[in-house]
Amino acid sequence: MSGISIAVIIVAVVAVYFVMTYNAFVLLRNRVREAWSDIEVQMKRRYDLIPNLVETVKGYAKHESGTLEKVIQARNMAMAQQGTVADAAKNENVLTGALKSIFALSENYPELKANQNFMELQRELRDTEDKMQAARRFYNGNVLAYNTKTELFPSNVVASFFHFEKQEFFSLGEEDQAAKQPVQVKF
């Protein structure tokens, strides 16, 4: 073989590698976007359930308006957020905390706790939370695969050449570090 044919083969192999790696990045980026879309669907479902829950609680806990206002305010902040994944995670964590206060409030009102609408809304929110956890795991798994590919050599050369940027994980905020700690059981 001549030097020219060897050079052509090397250039062809490099070109095929670039094309295959670029296509892999596009595939991974689209999976990350799809996974984020799944999270947004579950967040919307959650946002739609909250006003019904608040209205149900209002009928029983009239003098707990401060708690209810905090839930609505947290919902509105979460819905209005247009920032990064970290901003969305922070707002969602605030909303989760506000929702916990409503369920804690139900302990003080046995008739509310026994209300069929409240129980159904609580079940729907629990189901939505479970689906959000699954969507977060799916999203973070796709982000992990994408970010790993952007960092590994030689695919990182293709990533930097075509401006494939690392993505953020959807994780617990700093204010929820206690949730990451193992549960302590004492007898």
Is residue 172 in some structural domain?
no
- Our count of domains for the chain comes to 1
- Domain housing 66: 3-166
Is residue 151 in some structural domain?
yes
pLDDT band (50, 70, 90) for residue 104: confident
Is residue 187 in some structural domain?
no
Residue 25 has pLDDT above 80, yes or no: yes
Is residue 107 in some structural domain?
yes
Tens-place pLDDT, residues 139-177? 999 999 999 999 999 999 999 999 999 999 988 665 444
CA–CA separation, 18 vs 115, rounded Å?
Answer: 61
Is residue 140 in some structural domain?
yes
Peptide bond into 154 cis (omega under 30): yes
CA–CA separation, 75 vs 96, rounded Å?
Answer: 9
What is the pLDDT, as a whole number, of residue 111?
A: 74
Q: Give the domain CATH number at 63.
A: 1.20.1440.20
Nearest to 146 by CA among 35, 49, 17: 35
Read off the pLDDT of each residue in 34-62 and give the average, rounded to a whole number.
Answer: 83
pLDDT band (50, 70, 90) for residue 178: very low
Is residue 178 in some structural domain?
no
What is the pLDDT, as a whole number, of residue 61?
A: 67
Read off the pLDDT of each residue in 60-67 and give the average, rounded to a whole number.
Answer: 69
Is residue 31 in some structural domain?
yes
Is residue 177 in some structural domain?
no
